[in-house]
Chain A
């Protein structure tokens, strides 16, 4: 069975510092990978996705992620965070050839402090 692991439940960081949110997945077949963001009192919205091709994917709001097949990871990075980036971030995976489902991680709360 496929699974997604986000080891960090909360990541505190100061404004303008770099940040990395970690995501590892388990799957023996090809996958599609996603990062979603949830701002307070809102639904989730797509940050970026990896379907194929270049392993470095750029998303909205200056975020990027790198797909590493050998390490089964898809870590999210931003070189300089803002207060407005404070939100919960979810990594998700869907598997080619499987049923039409997306498996989510448990989320990482990014808390940006001034």
Chain B
């Protein structure tokens, strides 16, 4: 079974802080993704990575950056956290190929005060 682990379940940060959300997968998947989930908006793609050191912007990349130095780890960085970034953040991974399903972590609920 694929396991996608997000390092924190809940995080509370202050406005202006730099925030790191970490995600690790154990199945050698090429593709990794960061989504945010908000009520009534579903899942929106922030960034994805199709290989080590490769990244591509999703639909809402503003205010975020990512890092993928190793195949199994994909980090989401909030350079200067703002209250409108309070949300549930979901990491996912999958094998290369559009028909491959996503495997999700359990999410990190971030609150920015």
A interface with B by C-beta (< 8 Å): 9, 32, 34, 36, 41-46, 49, 51, 90, 94-96, 98-102, 104-107
Contact = CB atoms under 8 A, between A and B. Distances in A.
10 contacts: A36-B102, A41-B106, A43-B106, A44-B92, A46-B102, A49-B99, A90-B43, A99-B56, A106-B40, A106-B42
Contacts, number: 57
A56 to B, nearest CB: 18
A9 B40 CA distance: 8
> Interface SS of chain B: helix, strand, loop or mixed?
strand
B48 A43 contact: no
Interface of B: 4, 31, 33, 35, 40-45, 48, 50, 56, 58, 90, 92, 96, 98-99, 101-107
Contacts of B58: 101
B44 to A, nearest CB: 8
Nearest to B98: A94
Contacts of B4: 43
A43 B105 CA distance: 5
A94 to B, nearest CB: 5
